[in-house]
């Protein structure tokens, strides 16, 4: 999959970065920890 935001069969957001899948909650916590990381 290409990087981006997808929806699983349950309608939940899945964020894909460099081939890794994150839930919206995981992604938000990464952004909060990282701040202005270039991801």
39 pLDDT more than 60: no
Distances (CA, A) of 5 to 9, 12, 21, 22, 23: 13, 10, 9, 9, 10
If you ran DSSP here, which 8-state letter would residue 9 be given? T
pTM of the predicted model as reported, rounded to 2 decimal places: 0.67
Whole-number pLDDT of residue 5? 94
For range 14-20, the mean pLDDT: 92
Q: What is the DSSP string of 14-39?
A: EEEETTEEEEHHHHHHHHHHHSS---
From the list 26, 21, 27, the residue with the least C-alpha distance to 2 is 21
Q: How many CA atoms lie within 13 A of 24 on its CB side?
A: 7
């Amino acid at each position: 999959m290409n990087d981006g935001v997808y929806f699983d069969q349950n309608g939940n957001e899945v964020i894909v970065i460099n081939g890794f899948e994150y839930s919206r909650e995981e992604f938000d916590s990464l952004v909060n920890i990282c701040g202005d990381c270039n991801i």
